[in-house]
């Protein structure tokens, strides 16, 4: 089903709702004719598509902070696109923009809803990772809710991902000790050698809980919650008095994994009470008005001078998005997961 890139778009839609880990049957591929662009709009070709854990929630009808996808909808997603044609005064053919075009090769977008990117400031792909929504999630959740102080210990899981790797590095910039949790020895090595974490623990290790305890001799002051599940079980007893927990994501639960049926709530409430814990969930968009400009200034500077490092896992071809997405929910990605839909030019 080859599309004509001048007049058509290839897109991936939700064909059925996944139960557990998404599989190929949950996705459909369509080729559609592109509409004419109107005043204020632009036609984009997608260069990079971001694959993010939140998309799993949009595929289900469980109550959420955002509306779920209907069957047949194009899967949502952040994109870096290049302007192919424009009827917006600020967008010229060839410009690169940050958009939310979703899982499709081309899209007609409202020019007011995209942000022009400067390819000389940083690689274009970073607008979807370290300098984009995931980086901002780390920055805002850590600084606004976690508030790490010099000498404190910050723990984060999914630590080689775009959120976790930035959390650990920003914690160190603030003078805290960063302990990362990741799946497998290769990822743990990257935490120490690439991202400069002070300690790295493999959550698949049978002695994970005791190794984590050994890695935090002074306890844990900030637990940036990305995963929940068995990682949170190991972290909770190690929290210090007045510890803070920004609740950012629960990826271990996204596929409906069974948490072995134990009722954890009484033990959790008792920890909250006895340790005077502060636990605060957040969706990064709430902090955009007050923090986004500061984030862009700080993070761009840190990326440019090498203080804030990032790793990308780039998959070629839109058709490979479903498999890559399912793999991410099982820890198969190693860094910010992106699909290169068409090459940069």
**How many residues touch ligand NDP (CB under 6 A)?**
31
Among 282, 291, 309, 342, binds ligand NDP (CB under 6 A): 282
Among 134, 135, 146, 322, binds ligand NDP (CB under 6 A): 134
CA distance 26 to 13: 9
SS3 17: coil
Using CB under 6 A, which of the segments 69-77, 79-87, 180-188, 208-216 binds ligand NDP?
180-188
Tell me how crowded residue 324 is: count the other CB atoms within 10 A of its CB: 20
Check residue 331 and give left, alpha or beta (phi > 0: left; psi -120 to 50: alpha).
left
Nearer Cβ to ligand NDP (6/23):
23
Decide if residue 292 touches ligand NDP (CB under 6 A): no
Nearer Cβ to ligand NDP (277/328):
328
Q: Which of 281, 282, 341 is nearest to 317 (CA)?
A: 341
Nearer Cβ to ligand NDP (86/333):
333
Decide if residue 54 touches ligand NDP (CB under 6 A): yes
Give, in order, the Cα–Cα distances in Å from 159 to each of 95, 268, 280.
33, 23, 20
Decide if residue 328 touches ligand NDP (CB under 6 A): yes
Decide if residue 203 touches ligand NDP (CB under 6 A): yes
Binding positions for ligand NDP, 216-235, rule CB under 6 A: 226-227, 229, 231
Tell me how crowded residue 185 is: count the other CB atoms within 10 A of its CB: 12
Q: What is the DSSP string of 266-287?
A: HHHHHHHHHTT-EEEE--GGGG
> Which residue ranges make up the site for ligand NDP (CB under 6 A)?
52-54, 134, 137, 157-158, 160-164, 182-183, 187, 203, 226-227, 229, 231, 248-249, 251-252, 282-284, 328, 331, 333, 337
């Amino acid at each position: 089903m080859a599309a004509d890139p001048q007049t058509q778009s290839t897109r991936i839609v939700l064909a059925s709702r996944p139960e557990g880990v998404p599989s190929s049957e949950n996705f459909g591929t369509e080729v559609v004719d592109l509409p004419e662009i109107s005043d204020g709009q632009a036609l984009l070709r997608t260069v990079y598509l971001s694959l993010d854990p939140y998309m799993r929630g949009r595929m289900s009808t469980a109550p959420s902070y955002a509306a779920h996808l209907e069957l047949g909808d194009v899967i949502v997603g952040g994109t870096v696109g290049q302007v192919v044609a424009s009827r917006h005064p600020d967008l010229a053919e060839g410009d690169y923009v940050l958009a939310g075009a979703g899982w499709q090769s081309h899209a007609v977008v409202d020019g007011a809803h995209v942000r022009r990117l400067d390819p000389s400031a940083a690689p274009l792909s970073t607008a979807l990772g370290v300098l984009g929504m995931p980086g901002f999630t780390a920055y805002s959740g850590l600084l606004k809710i976690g508030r790490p102080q010099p000498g404190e210990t910050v723990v984060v899981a999914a630590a080689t991902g775009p959120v976790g790797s930035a959390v650990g590095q920003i914690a160190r910039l603030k003078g805290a000790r960063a302990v990362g949790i990741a799946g497998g020895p290769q990822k743990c090595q990257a935490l120490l050698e690439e991202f400069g974490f002070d300690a790295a623990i493999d959550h698949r290790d049978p002695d994970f809980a005791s190794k984590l305890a050994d890695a935090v001799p002074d306890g844990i002051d900030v637990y940036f919650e990305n995963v929940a599940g068995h990682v949170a079980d190991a972290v909770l007893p190690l929290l210090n008095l007045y510890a803070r927990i920004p609740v950012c994501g629960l990826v271990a639960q996204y596929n409906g994994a069974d948490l072995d049926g134990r009722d954890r709530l009484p033990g959790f409430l008792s920890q909250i009470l006895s340790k005077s814990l502060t636990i605060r969930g957040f969706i990064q968009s709430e902090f955009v008005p007050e923090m986004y400009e500061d984030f862009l200034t700080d993070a761009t500077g840190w990326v440019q001078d090498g203080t804030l490092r990032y790793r990308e896992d780039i998959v070629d071809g839109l058709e490979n998005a479903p498999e890559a997405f399912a793999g991410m929910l099982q820890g198969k990605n190693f860094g910010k997961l992106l699909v290169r839909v068409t090459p940069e030019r």
